[in-house]
Structure 1
């Protein structure tokens, strides 16, 4: 089933990890084999929705700092697709969503996920930017423009993190869960599984501890876009969940 998904990309350490989470990504890739992937990356920001279009092998964007040399030698030689980029652009334009094509390579919001899900790098990848400052309803509307792409064999991925607050990040991977993180995650899970778009569009005022869990929304809005791109009325599935470093959620959902 190629229904849209929200997948956390983890930290740069995810690139080389062999964990329960990376095993999940590997299973997901084996069970979901699209013709192309459209991925909204929390690490690709622009005011106007920007589609990275190319038919060549993507360049790598190492947008993290202070890691060992091997982290800057990772390659994920997937190609892009100008055909898929044009399909997506046309859908946005029909909905009146400002859009442009401008090339950008694969960043940390893209390749750690795909390295584990599709290690052969044999599926075309089209990265798309996020504007974290748009209201939640507009984020969902961006996703709604892409409803039904799975019928053309195109998988929509929102890549981010449900909770992303480095000030609350515990250095111990097995640290006890922070109560605020548990409450926020549980609220988001409940509303997402119920496909409660109204509540999720007002998560900033309704969800407990939203300001602490989402101090800046660039990692959260890929969830809203993936939610919007799912077919209305279809059951939402929880694919994976764990909580590490006290507050780092890996909740993964299929819409």
Structure 2
């Protein structure tokens, strides 16, 4: 008799710099987390770096590794993450999200928001990976609602993975040059964690109500919106656990959260 498929967690990862692909303390935590997870049937990643004017899902059998950055060591450009895709799951996602049109993409692949994390979480690259594009035209509640609909995939063995940084003020981080984390960045990081624990998603969907700390932490939304997909997939009774709880470069959060049992 076949055992029931375990309900996979939904995970948000603060992915930070592409340099994390080469390893370090944050990457070590991702690797340990991946080792604790039940093996997924597939992974659906929502990355800050596929931010376009549509909803689309990668639907090819062999997604390419995208090196969507510049000015980094050659070793990064030589890295590949040859995970397979899953065209059948891409069609299933389109069905779940209907009537929202979901283009079946044959061009994108896996950007560094996906593979720089997955190269540690699942280093064998033997689990199918799909990416879902973020439609930049849509309001935050739209993204949360897509996450709510996609939650059913958790019971089908699919790991939902959001990849961004819920504090991401790159302009300020560059100017700060690695100074002590700003007070507003630490406060907003703590506020987000407290609201997730309380399952109080309203202020996280409409984060502007959280005031100046939110305005400074989320000057643009592409790195924040992947969190809303993960929160939308949160279900009653899900355990919540945080990892890599830190602010890098004064204004970039590495904090991640696992929603649901990871072991």
The answer to whether the 8 A contact 1:7-1:157 is kept is yes
Show the counterpart of 2:227: 223
1:69 Cα shift? 2.0
Show the counterpart of 1:214: 218
Aligned CA-pair RMSD: 1.5
TM-score, normalization by structure 2? 0.90
Alignment partner of 1:111 is 2:144: no
Alignment partner of 1:124 is 2:152: no
Alignment partner of 1:250 is 2:254: yes
Alignment partner of 1:81 is 2:118: no
The answer to whether the 8 A contact 1:193-1:238 is kept is no
Alignment partner of 1:100 is 2:103: yes
The answer to whether the 8 A contact 2:170-2:251 is kept is no
The answer to whether the 8 A contact 1:34-1:153 is kept is yes
1:133 Cα shift? 4.1
The answer to whether the 8 A contact 2:161-2:230 is kept is yes
Q: How far apart, CA to CA, are the structure 2 residues paired with 1:18 and 1:199?
A: 33
Map residues 13-92 of structure 1 onto 2, 5 A cutoff: 13-19=19-25, 21-32=26-37, 33-56=39-62, 58-92=63-97
1:179 Cα shift? 0.4
Unaligned runs of 5+ in 1: none
Map residues 92-241 of structure 1 onto 2, 5 A cutoff: 92-93=97-98, 96-103=99-106, 104-169=108-173, 170-172=176-178, 175-241=179-245
1:68 Cα shift? 2.3
TM-score, normalization by structure 1? 0.92
Alignment partner of 1:6 is 2:6: no
Q: How far apart, CA to CA, are the structure 2 residues paired with 1:132 and 1:179?
A: 29
Distance 1:77 1:141, change over 3 A: same
Greater Cα offset, 214-223 or 1-10: 1-10
Q: How far apart, CA to CA, are the structure 2 residues paired with 1:31 and 1:208?
A: 37
Unaligned runs of 5+ in 2: 1-6
Secondary structure class of the residue paired with 2:133: strand
Q: How far apart, CA to CA, are the structure 1 residues paired with 2:137 and 2:198?
A: 25
Q: How far apart, CA to CA, are the structure 1 residues paired with 2:244 and 2:93?
A: 28
